[in-house]
Amino acid sequence: MRILLGVTAGIAAYKVPFLIRLLVKQGAEVRCVMTPDARDFVSPLVLSTLSNHPVAIEFWNKETGAWNNHVALAEWADLLVICPCTANTLSKMASGACDNLLLAIFLSMRNKTILFPAMDLEMYRHPTVQRNMDQLEQDGSIIVPAEYGELASGLSGQGRLPEPETLLEYILGVVASKRDFLGKNVVVTAGPTYEAIDPVRFIGNHASGKMGLALAERLAERGADVLLVLGPSKCSVSHPKIKVCSVVSAEEMWNEVKNNWDSMDFGFFAAAVADYQPERASQHKIKKSAGESMALTLVKTPDILAWAGKHKKEHQRIIGFALETQNGEVNAKEKLHTKKADYMVLNVPVENESGFNAETNKVCIFGKDDRLWDIPLMQKREVANAILNVITNTQ
């Protein structure tokens, strides 16, 4: 794995030496390219010592007379990682400017480029910066959104560069992304279920299907053939490797999983399935009666995840999700064991920014061997990638 690490002039550059060490420990060959101003934030001597290669900064080194060939560097790299990536560099890249060595390499890359933007929160959310990131994503770069948290300015918000271990997870995920689920059959459940009370009423919940869809899309991108069993949802899906099967109730969702389970390698159970359904759905709309109250008799729905756990074969892996309002860790671990899952993803509440219907999510993942991975608050698509990275790195 040959990684060209581009460093631009942001305070978060202090994390780059740690990242180089982690990459080298993974067996990667790392070469560094800096923008001239990045030298004020981290010393080229540190980067060249840790990467064991001279750092390229200018097209032409006036002292030695050596020429840094941007085309040769771009051809050498399996992956260009720009970390941190400042607003200035984002802007230049989005417009195709080419006034330094790093930008010339970026324009010469045939392999993937992954960008880790990091800056202060107002800059990060400025429409021009957002527009530049969208443009670069459309043009094929992989943008890893900045994290939320404490910033160098003393303010708190989105703009923070992830910690080196998390940067490494992303990079490994991208490196592996061409192949790690290739040839795998995967079923994903997503969305809510609706349990009919009568023809016009149901028992349901606020799940949107976004988390399950994000998983299905990332799995498909990483090579899997995906069956998405989707409860009532407004999400639309159009990936050639995702087959969508729309269902309404827990019973219907269970039937689809059961009918396809034998051919599956993985099951991701991200649906918020109703635990109970009315014992009998009324054929006609239930009329308001004279009494002050009414009672519905509910019976348990099939537990789809537990069924899959019970029928799991040696090669199959099961990933459950847990949504709790109290004792999250204890309950998630209990579900992991009783439902015989291999991993349990616990939604961690962050007001309006995680769980049902949000665009972002904050989760932690429990493994069977009591391992724990804490995933920061990110877009659901990035959370999905982080979950897949954990799975492939621990198989």
Q: Which residues are catalytic?
A: 205
Residue 269 is a binding residue for ligand PMT (CB under 6 A): yes
Question: 163-192: which residues touch ligand PMT (CB under 6 A)?
Answer: 189, 191
Residue with smaller CB distance to ligand PMT, 165 or 359: 359
Give the up-direction half-sphere exposure of residue 170: CA atoms within 13 A in the CB hemisphere: 30
CB of 326 to ligand PMT, least distance (A): 12
Residue span binding ligand PMT (CB under 6 A) among the ranges 91-99, 120-128, 162-170, 267-275: 267-275
CB of 260 to ligand PMT, least distance (A): 15
Residue span binding ligand PMT (CB under 6 A) among the ranges 78-86, 122-130, 288-296, 351-359: 351-359
* Residue from 10, 117, 145, 355 in contact with ligand PMT (CB under 6 A): 355
* Residue from 151, 272, 348, 384 in contact with ligand PMT (CB under 6 A): 272
Residue with smaller CB distance to ligand PMT, 14 or 356: 356
Residue with smaller CB distance to ligand PMT, 6 or 209: 209
Residues in the chain, overall count: 395
Residue with smaller CB distance to ligand PMT, 248 or 323: 323
- Cβ partners under 8 Å of residue 348, min gap 6: 328, 354, 362, 363, 364
* Cα of 385 vs its chain's centroid, Å: 3
- What Å distances lie between residue 74 and 105, 144, 175, 183, 197, CA to CA? 5, 21, 16, 30, 62
Residue with smaller CB distance to ligand PMT, 81 or 304: 304
Residue with smaller CB distance to ligand PMT, 38 or 386: 386
Residue 385 is a binding residue for ligand PMT (CB under 6 A): no
Give the up-direction half-sphere exposure of residue 348: CA atoms within 13 A in the CB hemisphere: 13
Residue with smaller CB distance to ligand PMT, 78 or 251: 251
Helix (H) or strand (E) holding 2: strand 2-7
Q: Answer for the pair 228, 188: CB distance below 8 angstroms, yes or no.
A: yes
* Residue from 215, 247, 304, 318 in contact with ligand PMT (CB under 6 A): 304
Residue 305 is a binding residue for ligand PMT (CB under 6 A): yes
* Residue from 41, 181, 321, 343 in contact with ligand PMT (CB under 6 A): 321
Residue 78 is a binding residue for ligand PMT (CB under 6 A): no
Residue 388 is a binding residue for ligand PMT (CB under 6 A): no
Residue 145 is a binding residue for ligand PMT (CB under 6 A): no
Residue 51 is a binding residue for ligand PMT (CB under 6 A): no
* Per-residue three-class SS string for 289-306: CCCCCCCCCEEECCCHHH
CB of 299 to ligand PMT, least distance (A): 12
Long-range contacts of 332-338 (CB under 8 A, 24+ apart): 332/366, 333/366, 333/370, 336/366, 336/368, 337/368, 338/306
Per DSSP, the three-state class of 247 is coil
**Pick from 144, 88, 84: which is nearest to 112 by CA?**
144
Distance CA 203, CA 189 (A): 18
Residue 301 is a binding residue for ligand PMT (CB under 6 A): yes
Q: Answer for the pair 331, 356: CB distance below 8 angstroms, yes or no.
A: no
* Residue from 252, 265, 303, 329 in contact with ligand PMT (CB under 6 A): 303
Residue 389 is a binding residue for ligand PMT (CB under 6 A): no
Number of residues interacting with ligand PMT: please give it, by CB under 6 A.
Answer: 28
Per DSSP, the three-state class of 312 is coil
Residue 228 is a binding residue for ligand PMT (CB under 6 A): no
The DSSP bridge partners found for residue 378 are: 361
Residue 322 is a binding residue for ligand PMT (CB under 6 A): yes
* Cα of 324 vs its chain's centroid, Å: 21
Q: Strands, E, within 90-176: which ranges?
A: 112-117, 142-143, 147-150, 156-160
Distance CA 279, CA 197 (A): 9
CB of 189 to ligand PMT, least distance (A): 6
Point out which residues bind ligand PMT (CB under 6 A).
189, 191, 207-212, 250, 269-273, 275, 301, 303-305, 320-323, 335, 347, 355-357
